[in-house]
Amino acid sequence: MYYEGTLSTVEALFVSRAQQKIAELGASLSEQASRGDVDQEDYQISVELQYAIQGLQSTVSPWTEEERLLVVDFYTLRARLTVYAYRELSFLPTYVGGSEGDWATRGELAIVDNAAITRDQQQDVANQDERDRIEEESIARDEALADLIERAAVENEIVSAEQHGGVNEGETFVVGTPLEIIIDKILSGTPTVSNFTFDEHVDYVVVGDSVSITRFSWDHTGDPQGLLLFDSEGIMGNVTPVDIGEYIPPAPIVYTLNTFKTITWTLAGNNIDSATKEIKGLYNSYYGKKAQGDDTPIVVTESDVLAGTSQLTETDVSVTFTADTTNGELGWIAVPTTQSGSDYLKWGTDTSNTDWISSISFIEKQGTITVNGVTYTIYRWRYRSPLNRDIQLSK
């Protein structure tokens, strides 16, 4: 920016000293930056001095003559410009008196500095008073608006045509409903339900067992409307919970999982994402072992399976058991055929020890047998081996 203002002798002297100070601070800041430790006060003084110089040099300076001298006085003290080859200053100090050319002492400059501080403090008080006035007016307006909303009510019945925050599509507000209630619902956000469950919930039960439910519960935000609770069995058909956080049936509801299947419970409502919970009825899988004098394949029977170690788990992708055979035993794993679907093709003890299930591998398929009316596929060791680790069969 081009500056062409004519400086007085006092101002020219100030500008010269200020430019020297800026140069000194620039060198110092460069060295500080190289260390990553910049003194923000040095940086601030440098900026303020540059601004003061530009203000004095500008032909459109916003300062009066008195303020120009005050700027010179203030920054002479703030930046300690008297160190530049002068022990005293030759200019007209504001509020000190005398004529241009008089000597201004440090004490006189301190008077100028204190006068500036006093003026700033008075201005701060005035500014705070103005802020307090504005805040009081704002509070009064807010209180008046809140009072108006509280007293205002619906004059004609309103039916919401779509979802608006916590207001559901089709929700009706009858005549006399306070506007405050409607506004609060709009601002509350879309309702949600989460953590839907019921007492004694487990993921799996043995086929043939029953589940008795005495209480459903869930968390929610907002005010869910039109909640419905139902199950995949049709035992509960669109039950409407009275409480938006739980449902306690009049009597325990009993579900018997007499086949390999899944029962699902659903909690739905107006304009909310449905929540579900499920339980699967599964058949046990089994692991066992037999002592054997040689590597002749063992024949696993129904009684062997029932005497084995049971495990209730999903088997559609894989099954894992912890084996513990010794060098004189042959192990086996039995999985429910219907539940597992197609046969397992691979076996492994870890990612570096896997192989196909076949008549020439460590594990082969014996065939199927019936255990308590359920068909099981048997996978057996082909030779005796000490095996003390998890073994997995997979597809």
Instruction: Read off the pLDDT of residues 295-354 as tens digits, 9 standing for 90 and up.
Output: 999 999 999 999 999 999 999 999 999 999 999 999 999 999 999 999 999 999 977 778
Would you state the pLDDT for residue 108? Answer: 61
Structure tokens at 205: 């039960």
Among the listed residues 72, 74, 75, 45, the one whose alpha carbon sits nearest the alpha carbon of residue 56: 72
- Per the rule left: phi > 0, alpha: psi between -120 and 50, beta: everything else, 293 is alpha
**Is there a contact between 393 and 379 (Cβ–Cβ < 8 Å)?**
yes
Distance of alpha carbon 111 from alpha carbon 43, whole angstroms: 26
Average pLDDT estimate for 34-51:
88
Q: What is the pTM of this model?
A: 0.54
Alpha-helical (H) ranges within the chain are 9-35, 40-57, 65-78, 106-151, 179-187, 302-306, 337-340
Is the model's pLDDT at 183 over the cut of 60? yes
Would you state the pLDDT for residue 225? Answer: 82
Residue whose pair of structure tokens reads 């995949």 in the numeric block: 232
Would you state the pLDDT for residue 59? Answer: 80
**Is there a contact between 40 and 32 (Cβ–Cβ < 8 Å)?**
no
The 10s digit of each residue's pLDDT in 100-155 is 444 455 666 667 667 767 777 888 888 888 888 888 888 888 887 777 666 677 77
Would you state the pLDDT for residue 178? Answer: 83
Residue scoring higher pLDDT (117 or 87)? 117
Among the listed residues 357, 378, 356, the one whose alpha carbon sits nearest the alpha carbon of residue 367: 378
Would you state the pLDDT for residue 299? Answer: 97
Question: DSSP string of 181-194?
Answer: HHHHHHHT---EEE
Is the model's pLDDT at 286 over the cut of 50? yes
Which range has the top average pLDDT, 158-162, 199-203, 391-395? 391-395
Structure tokens at 230: 């139902």
Distance of alpha carbon 244 from alpha carbon 240, whole angstroms: 10
Would you state the pLDDT for residue 227? Answer: 93
Instruction: Count Cβ atoms below 10 Å from residue 347 Cβ, excluding itself.
Output: 22
Q: What is the mean pLDDT of the chain?
A: 86
Would you state the pLDDT for residue 164? Answer: 76
pLDDT band at 11 (very low <50, low <70, confident <90, very high): confident
Q: What's the burial of 308, exposed, middle or buried (CB within 10 Å: 0-12/13-18/19+)?
A: buried
Is the model's pLDDT at 47 over the cut of 70? yes
Would you state the pLDDT for residue 152? Answer: 73
Distance of alpha carbon 59 from alpha carbon 293, whole angstroms: 113
**Is there a contact between 344 and 395 (Cβ–Cβ < 8 Å)?**
yes
Average pLDDT estimate for 238-244:
88
- 289-298 burial, b at 16+ Cβ within 10 Å, e below that, comes to bbebeeeeeb
Out of 72-76, 197-201, 390-394, pick the least confident. 72-76
Would you state the pLDDT for residue 126? Answer: 82
Would you state the pLDDT for residue 138? Answer: 86
Out of 58-62, 84-88, 133-137, 281-285, pick the least confident. 84-88
Average pLDDT estimate for 167-174:
82
The 10s digit of each residue's pLDDT in 17-32 is 899 899 989 888 888 8
Q: Within 13 A of 184's CA, how many CA atoms are on the CB side?
A: 10
The share of the chain scoring above pLDDT 70, in percent, equals 89
Which residues make beta-bridge pairs with 133? none
Is the model's pLDDT at 87 over the cut of 50? no
Structure tokens at 21: 């100070």
pLDDT band at 90 (very low <50, low <70, confident <90, very high): very low
Would you state the pLDDT for residue 1? Answer: 40
Structure tokens at 147: 């009072």
